[in-house]
């Protein structure tokens, strides 16, 4: 079940892909991690999908990651008496605190935190930015605004506030219940929506502990201002370009994507690039050329994973979308420009033995033409450090911990194998050679580079490098 590429594929599960048969097809087409979107579906629905993925994992003998994506707080207008209103550019409209149905002179906005935080001159975006209004005056219960970009609004359309930091937890009561349920099932990763500040990550980590990895979704401008701290506190990040592209100018998104991928790689944390990657494949068996280029750009940037949303969840061609993404990644990584670009973006090596040994493993493997880098890891950190280097050979990760093996399904270049503990140095070398051959990563006469920490089984002790010939 070896993947002949380094970047990973995250596929969202939905009505088009939630049967055991279809999940198997998606995996065989290239899906490495399955995303369960808790904005939709019941706990029972998600439990069935989780069980089907775990059964598939047993069948194929390869760790499969499962990502729980929490909904987060949804800011919406209330209901309108007429069902919809047409806001005309230049006219004045009024938002009132409360849930009573109204019209354009009394648009209900049941979010007191907005009235406390917003200031004159700031904008409210309605319906994914299709309508934009600018605040001219605000009291405890009334916001007066001028329509800058007109259009129709209707019941419960979403509201974005790009210039306003809200005193709002990213975890609603629904999220807390969903999180408890997801952790009870055994989710590998949890994606946190609406991250604005480092304290949001700390709050979520306090609930999750070490039971799953935490992915911070970067979709708010406020998060960009504190990004180094957010990345440091997170286990991974997601470049959620949909909401981010509503709140910052479209032309700024590509540059921000590159900054975020590089910052995550610098910290040796996985980074997912998400939203509308092959969006036309929701209704078409082939993507546009621009979409293919978009996926390739994320791969050239060095992203650990690229994600499918509606394409695999509700589209007409979920398997074709995964297969297409798989082919684009593989083709991009074989292109002559790939290695020079990824190497040019390589971060400096941290001045620690663990990072230095991991970086040296990548250099050594390339110099001697090794078939693979073999890493023994208890926590997965050794593999993340090696992946930070983006070596030109596959990374085979042996771990006794099944949870760690599944989390590594998200990490660039990592192919995880469940393996028992090793007791001494020579046993480590023999085990590495044996597993490299049985997993089809090396053949007789080839060399592998072995990375481990001594004493064995102690997290954070990556300190040993060995070349072995099969």
Catalytic residues: 35, 76, 217, 275
Residue indicated by tokens 């596929």: 11
Strand partners, 449: 373, 467
3-state helix, strand, coil in the chain (%, to 5): 40, 25, 35
> Cα–Cα distance between 153 and 32 in angstroms, integer?
39
Q: Are 404 and 384 in contact (CB under 8 A)?
A: no
CA-closest candidate to residue 214, choices 196, 231, 239: 231
Sequence-distant (6+) residues with CB within 8 A of 158 are 74, 75, 76, 126, 127, 128
73: tokens are 């707080």
Q: Are 281 and 321 in contact (CB under 8 A)?
A: yes
3-state secondary structure of 57: helix
> Cα–Cα distance between 40 and 44 in angstroms, integer?
12
The secondary structure element, H or E, covering residue 78 is none
CA-closest candidate to residue 289, choices 239, 328, 245, 320: 328
3-state secondary structure of 425: helix
> Cα–Cα distance between 265 and 360 in angstroms, integer?
17
> Cα–Cα distance between 411 and 37 in angstroms, integer?
20
Q: DSSP class of residue 391? A: -
CA-closest candidate to residue 349, choices 187, 456, 462: 462
Cα-trace Rg, the chain: 24
> Cα–Cα distance between 356 and 377 in angstroms, integer?
16
143: tokens are 């916001």
CA-closest candidate to residue 81, choices 53, 100, 62: 100
In terms of DSSP bridges, do strands 131-138 and 142-149 run parallel, antiparallel, or are they unpaired? Answer: antiparallel
User: Would you give the distance in Å from CA 175 to the centre of its chain?
Assistant: 18
Residue indicated by tokens 């190497």: 343
């Amino acid at each position: 079940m070896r993947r002949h590429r380094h970047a990973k594929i995250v596929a969202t599960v939905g009505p088009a892909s939630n049967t055991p048969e279809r999940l198997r097809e998606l995996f065989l087409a290239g899906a490495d991690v399955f995303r369960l979107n808790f904005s939709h579906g019941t706990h029972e629905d998600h439990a069935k999908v989780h069980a089907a993925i775990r059964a598939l994992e047993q069948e194929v003998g390869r760790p499969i990651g499962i990502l729980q994506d929490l909904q987060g707080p949804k800011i919406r207008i209330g209901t309108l008496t007429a069902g919809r209103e047409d806001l005309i550019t230049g006219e004045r409209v009024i938002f009132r605190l409360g849930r009573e149905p109204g019209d354009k002179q009394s648009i209900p906005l049941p979010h007191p935190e907005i009235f406390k935080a917003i200031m004159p001159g700031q904008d409210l975006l309605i319906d994914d930015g299709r309508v934009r209004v600018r605040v001219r005056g605000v009291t405890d219960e009334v916001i007066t605004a001028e329509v800058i970009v007109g259009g129709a609004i209707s019941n419960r359309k979403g509201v974005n506030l790009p210039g306003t930091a809200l005193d709002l937890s990213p975890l609603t009561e629904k999220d807390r219940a969903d999180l408890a349920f997801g952790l009870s099932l055994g989710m590998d990763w949890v994606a946190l929506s609406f991250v604005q500040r480092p304290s949001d990550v700390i709050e979520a980590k306090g609930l999750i502990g070490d039971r799953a990895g935490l992915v911070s979704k970067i979709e708010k401008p406020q998060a960009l201002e504190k990004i180094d701290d957010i990345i440091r506190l997170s286990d991974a990040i997601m470049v959620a370009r949909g909401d981010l592209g509503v709140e910052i100018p479209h032309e700024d998104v590509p540059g921000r994507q590159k900054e975020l991928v590089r910052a995550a790689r610098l910290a040796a944390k996985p980074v997912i690039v998400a939203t509308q990657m092959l969006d036309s494949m929701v209704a078409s068996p082939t993507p546009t050329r621009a979409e293919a280029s978009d996926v390739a750009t994320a791969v050239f940037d060095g992203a650990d994973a690229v994600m499918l949303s509606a394409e695999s969840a509700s589209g007409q061609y979920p398997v074709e979308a995964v297969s297409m993404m798989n082919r684009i990644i593989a083709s991009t990584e074989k292109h002559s420009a790939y290695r020079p670009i990824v190497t040019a973006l390589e971060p400096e090596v941290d001045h620690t033995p663990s990072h230095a040994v991991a970086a040296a493993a990548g250099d050594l493997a390339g110099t001697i033409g090794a078939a693979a880098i073999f890493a023994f890891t208890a926590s997965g950190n050794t593999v993340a450090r090696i992946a930070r280097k983006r070596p030109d050979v596959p990374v085979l990760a042996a771990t006794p911990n099944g949870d760690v093996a599944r989390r590594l399904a998200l990490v660039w270049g990592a192919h995880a194998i469940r393996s028992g503990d090793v007791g001494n140095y020579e046993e480590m070398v023999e085990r590495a050679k044996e597993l490299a051959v049985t997993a089809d990563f090396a053949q007789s006469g080839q060399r592998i580079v072995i990375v481990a920490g001594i004493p064995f089984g102690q997290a954070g002790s990556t300190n040993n490098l060995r070349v072995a010939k099969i």
